[in-house]
Amino acid sequence: MAAVVLVTGGSGLVGKAIEYVIEHEPEGSRFGKRPGEKWIFAGSRDGDLRNPEETLKLFEKYQPTYVIHLAALVGGLFANRERKMTFLRDNMLINDNVLHTAHIKGTKKVISCLSTCVFPDKVEYPLTEEKVHLGPPHPSNFGYAHAKRMVDVQNHAYKEEFGCNFTSAIPTNVFGPHDNFDLKHAHVMPALIHKCYLAQRNNTSFKVMGDGSPLRQFIYSRDLAKLFIWQLREYDSVEPVILSVDENDEISIRDLANSIVKVMDYPSKPEFENEINDNGQDRKPASNAKLMSLIGPDFKFTPFEQALEETVTWFLQNYANART
């Protein structure tokens, strides 16, 4: 029988990237579609996963063999800080419904998506997979972080009690086509792309909150998509895997803003609003040593400038319909 892969959150940034890779990589290749495989990309219109009945209906409709579980209430620093309870509850409901339904329906494997936000605030860097539960997360996003951490706890409990093959991925900051570019709720990169676009269009200054010093590791959504497909096909352990570029590839918000200015041909420099003491975490480098040791040295990440250019091009071409 053909394998059905259900991607929850299939209409979002990461889901759209998996769809792109599955459609564009050669059939039968490492990241391409396998013969007889059927991929379903479900958004919230296909069922609200906070609701157990709708979750069950979705599973009964598609009978997935495998699930890549991406659906989540996702937001940037400001959204996370302002709506901690909503981020906690919505994500706990979504995750609990998906894992429970996958268990009762006999889904062969589920890969759920965590985030580096799950890691403790005070921790020795670089982040590695064993450090998830070693202390409280950063206060700015503890609702989202705790909900995501529980997935790892659930995965272990499902394995120990029922023998389920449930695991998780921990991506760093993702960017790419189909991101959320909404100025208030977006992550830092899409928010800056949108701000720079408006500054250019309105002939105003490009203002960046904070002093530009925090460092972040960014992964291109289409690279991340390949890593999810790899994990689905080639990784069978309950322990999470950090899906990230090398820990030495951190970029400061200042350099990011300068790169955006360059790619968008904005004629001035970004202005950093240093007086706003709202930087978020200074840095949180994550190690991709486990990933690279398993996937092998042949895997190549897209160069950052190229990925940024592809993202900006998509944003400019889709401004009218993008999440802005």
Query: Active-site residues: which are they?
Result: 144
Candidate segments 43-51, 155-163, 208-216, 313-321, binder of ligand NDP by CB under 6 A: 43-51
Candidate segments 78-86, 126-134, 168-176, 304-312, binder of ligand NDP by CB under 6 A: 168-176
Tokens of 61: 């409709």
Which of 13/229 has CB closer to ligand NDP?
13
Which of 156/323 has CB closer to ligand NDP?
323
Return d(Cα 280, Cα 187) in angstroms, integer: 12
List the one residue from 101, 107, 115, 128 that touches ligand NDP (CB under 6 A): 115
Which of 179/266 has CB closer to ligand NDP?
179
CB of 69 to ligand NDP, least distance (A): 7
Q: Are strands 38-42 and 4-8 parallel, antiparallel or unpaired?
A: parallel
Q: Which residue's structure tokens are 């009762």?
A: 104
Q: What stretch of H or E contains 198?
A: helix 188-202
Phi then psi dihedrals of residue 151, to 5 deg: -60, -40
Which of 200/238 has CB closer to ligand NDP?
238
CB of 66 to ligand NDP, least distance (A): 16
Which of 115/155 has CB closer to ligand NDP?
115
Q: Is the peptide bond before 126 cis (omega within 30 degrees of 0)?
A: yes
CB of 20 to ligand NDP, least distance (A): 12
List the one residue from 187, 194, 195, 216 that touches ligand NDP (CB under 6 A): 187
CB of 104 to ligand NDP, least distance (A): 19
Three-state DSSP class for 200? helix
Return d(Cα 39, Cα 65) in angstroms, integer: 10
CB of 1 to ligand NDP, least distance (A): 26
Would you count residue 13 as binding ligand NDP (CB under 6 A)? yes
Return d(Cα 63, Cα 54) in angstroms, integer: 14
Would you count residue 48 as binding ligand NDP (CB under 6 A)? yes
Return d(Cα 91, Cα 80) in angstroms, integer: 12
- Which residues, numbered 258-287, are part of the site for ligand NDP (CB under 6 A)? none
Would you count residue 288 as binding ligand NDP (CB under 6 A)? no
**Total residues interacting with ligand NDP, rule: CB under 6 A:** 26
Beta strands per DSSP E along 86-237: 109-113, 166-171, 173-175, 207-209, 215-216, 218-220
Q: What stretch of H or E contains 271?
A: strand 271-273
Candidate segments 8-16, 101-109, 154-162, 281-289, binder of ligand NDP by CB under 6 A: 8-16
Which of 9/280 has CB closer to ligand NDP?
9
Would you count residue 15 as binding ligand NDP (CB under 6 A)? yes
CB 111 within 8 A of CB 232: yes
Would you count residue 50 as binding ligand NDP (CB under 6 A)? yes
Candidate segments 22-30, 42-50, 160-168, 278-286, binder of ligand NDP by CB under 6 A: 42-50
Structure-derived torsion over alpha carbons of residues 264, 268, 273, 279, reported in degrees to the nearest 10? 30
Q: Are strands 215-216 and 166-171 parallel, antiparallel or unpaired?
A: unpaired
- Which residues, numbered 62-81, are part of the site for ligand NDP (CB under 6 A)? 70-74
Longest dimension (CA), the chain: 61
Return d(Cα 221, Cα 48) in angstroms, integer: 24
Which of 33/69 has CB closer to ligand NDP?
69
Please state, in angstroms and as integers, the Cα–Cα distance from residue 324 to each residue in 171, 197, 207, following that order.
23, 11, 18
Closest C-alpha among 126, 112, 124, 121 to residue 142:
121
Residues of the shown chain interacting with ligand NDP in the complex, contacts defined by CB under 6 A: 9-15, 43-45, 48-50, 70-74, 94, 113, 115, 171, 173-174, 180, 187
